[in-house]
Chain A
Amino acid sequence: MKKTINRRDFLKLAGLLPLGLAAPRFIQTPKGQKNVVILIFDALSAYHMSLYGYSRETTPNIAKLAERALVYNKHYAGGNYTTTGTASLLTGTNPWTHRAFQIDGGVAESVATHNIFNVFHNYYRLAYTHNLFANVLLKQFQNNMDDWIPRNRLFLGSYSGFIQTLFGNDEDTASISWGRNIKIEEAGYAYSLFLSHIYQPLQNSKVKNINAQFPRGIPTSNYEDNFTLEQAVSWISGRLTAAPQPFFGYFHLLPPHAPYRTSSEFYGRFRADGFTPKEKPIDVFTEHKDKNDLSRRRMEYDEFILYADKEFGRLYNYLESSGLLENTLLVLTSDHGEMIERGIVGHMTNALHQPVIRIPLLIFEPGRKTRLDINTATSAIDLLPTLLHLTNQTIPNWAEGIILPPFASAAPAPDRKIYVMRAIKNAPDQPLTTSVSTTMIKGIYKIHYYIGYPELKKRGQDELVKLFDIEADPEELVDLSLARKEIANQLLGELKAKLAEVNKPYL
């Protein structure tokens, strides 16, 4: 028997090495498992979707497809901005557990392995996001993925790719600075005095062919890089067809996040349509936006939703015609909502009113032919255990959510509490004691609790409590904290007890 191998044999064996490395995963792959695709439209508020009763027809495609889906009518994000909202969804835990508070922060290192990619370890896991801050989380979980797709993969011709290459460990901050340095765009000024004037025409020349398709400008990520949903959806469709099955795909697309730049097909669709939003009281965190400004921004946001809606329809049709949907759970949701009322525009607000935290959730399961509406309150943290349950996998004990109805054997407890939080200024290792917004939904009530904000201190208050009956008053027009003081005190006591409990390790 030959004891040594020659160079040629070695090379042959070396050629098999990649296959050998990949083989154990695929050999161990459970047969007949359903694929899972989570599609996020960033900052998509359920409040602005005609699917959920909004009077502008913003989601005709989604509404049509929902006739074959599970539609969750009271679904809440974990937070009102990307970092916290996405972290809750991806970890299945509440914000005080994952501690992704700061806008470009990740989850606490001690819980970094508690993520949805890790629990789907028998799957081929791939993920992409346009969003800089969601990408921080994906980067943190990259060791639990098979394919972490670079952000610039779906940007139109860009000269910014070198930022990710050169400053990979600090991409988010480097990108922000690069944007402020070189991209003059709408602001009209940049740190760079000369190169910014050269950069802009160069960038424009790369995208000039599609300029006409986007009258408000080509969709962009933080005014940095341009992209189109058409390109993203086509790419995702192709990538899923080629991915080894079963796969777990997470795709976090930026629209309808600001800047609201819809395509020419939907531009002006809601102009002068006679729509009048409900008059709402000015909030303590108002940005003093006037009525006209709010009205214009609302129209632009709603028109941008139409663009996302159309492209979702295209993705769905592709998955259906390719046969993938026969064996794929498709989830449509968002990381947080958007608020264009009470003098506030966007989601960088301390307020936690319904439009900024109530998000869509639709689950398209193979074989479903009819719509099923779920009217109990549900949370983004429920998605992880539900998807594990639907793919016959074990739910880890660190998951804090529940299996969503109708899949759970029992209905959720009527006194279940759902929490949404904003603690953007909190360091992960600090207790949640100042500049914190929390809301707790329990039964028909929703209590808002704000602590330590300068806006409150100006009014001589350290905290602010609001109570709404969201069944009778879904628009949150009448604060019941005084009229139903007993209930407010009881719920506030429960919320404070929870905060005291989760703060204990950090005091």
Chain B
Amino acid sequence: MITLSNSRYYRKQELWSLFLMCAFPLYFWTLLLAFRDVSWLTERTNAWDAVGVVSYGMVFASVESVIVFIIAVLLGFLVSRSWSGERRGALLGVLALIASLWATADQLYFLWGTPLPAWIFQILVKSAHPVRIIYGVLLALVAPTVILPAYFILQTDKGLQAAQNFIERITLLSMLYLFSAFAGLVVVIIRNI
């Protein structure tokens, strides 16, 4: 059953889940790219240095996670008091994940190296306001990915339930990454002794 709370303050569990939601995509992306780098790093240096680069990456990702988490917490204070703490936590967690997915999509564009089809550029070049069109298209793409989840989480119990189930799974996975980050920190300390 969903409990209602009009408090502006977060409960510990709420904060912990939110942190893990913020950290998950950052750790995932760092590990993905860092492992991609391991082969050339090992080739040019050695396996221990490659482990070092991955470890520093996890430590830097932890710092970034804390920053994103603090921003999310502060944004949470803007959410209306009329929503329960659960709804607010689920909303922030899902929005943090969506923002990360868009940031990932932005980098994937360069990573895959597949340019947009030429006809899109031709349309943009021919138009009077190419920048406005780009922003308009981006807004049209991003807005539904924010508004729809927000609507379902805030307005329907089913939506909230689904979000909470999803968050539960992600946070469990995120705990594993957190453990990797801790191992990374140990490696960094050893390397600097």
Name A residues whose Cβ lies closer than 8 Å to a Cβ of B. Answer: 102-104, 167-170, 173-174, 176-178, 180-182, 187-195, 197, 348, 424-425, 427
Do B107 and A188 have beta carbons less than 8 Å apart?
yes
CA distance A425 to B46 in the complex (A): 7
CA distance A182 to B56 in the complex (A): 12
Tell me if B155 is interfacial: C-beta within 8 Å of chain A.
no
Do A170 and B110 have beta carbons less than 8 Å apart?
no
Do A192 and B60 have beta carbons less than 8 Å apart?
yes
The one of B52, B60, B104, B107 that contacts A173, using a Cβ cutoff of 8 Å: B52
Do A192 and B61 have beta carbons less than 8 Å apart?
yes
Q: Give the one of B30, B33, B45, B109 with max A CB within 10 A.
A: B45
A-B CB contacts (within 8 Å), total count:
96
Known contacts A169-B193, A180-B57; 5 additional CB pairs below 8 A are A104-B49, A176-B41, A181-B56, A181-B61, A189-B33
Do B111 and A181 have beta carbons less than 8 Å apart?
no
CA distance A24 to B50 in the complex (A): 45
Chain A residues whose CB sits within 8 angstroms of the CB of B45 once the complex forms: 102-104, 173
Do A191 and B29 have beta carbons less than 8 Å apart?
yes
Chain A residues whose CB sits within 8 angstroms of the CB of B60 once the complex forms: 177-178, 181-182, 191-192
Do B64 and A192 have beta carbons less than 8 Å apart?
yes
Chain A residues whose CB sits within 8 angstroms of the CB of B67 once the complex forms: 194-195
Do B44 and A194 have beta carbons less than 8 Å apart?
no
CB of A50 to closest CB in B, whole Å: 32
CA distance A193 to B52 in the complex (A): 20
The one of B37, B55, B110 that contacts A188, using a Cβ cutoff of 8 Å: B110
CA distance A103 to B30 in the complex (A): 24
Chain A, residue nearest B99 (CB):
A194
Chain B, residue nearest A427 (CB):
B46
Q: A173-B56, A180-B34, A187-B110 are in contact. Are A193 and B26 (CB under 8 A)?
A: yes
Chain A residues whose CB sits within 8 angstroms of the CB of B29 once the complex forms: 191, 193
CA distance A427 to B54 in the complex (A): 21
Do A181 and B57 have beta carbons less than 8 Å apart?
yes
CA distance A427 to B44 in the complex (A): 12
Could you give, for residues 68-104 of chain B, a 1 whenever the CB lies within 8 Å of some chain A CB and a 0 otherwise? 1000000000000000000000000000000110011
Please name 29 pairs of A and B residues whose Cβ atoms are closer than 8 Å in the assembled complex, sorted by A.
Answer: A102-B46, A104-B45, A167-B188, A167-B191, A170-B52, A170-B192, A173-B45, A173-B52, A173-B53, A174-B52, A177-B52, A177-B53, A177-B55, A177-B56, A178-B60, A180-B37, A181-B57, A181-B60, A189-B108, A189-B111, A190-B33, A191-B57, A191-B60, A192-B26, A193-B100, A194-B67, A194-B99, A195-B67, A197-B103
CA distance A180 to B104 in the complex (A): 15
Chain B residues whose CB sits within 8 angstroms of the CB of A194 once the complex forms: 26, 64, 67-68, 99-100, 103
CA distance A488 to B104 in the complex (A): 56
Q: Give the one of B60, B68, B111 with max A CB within 10 A.
A: B60
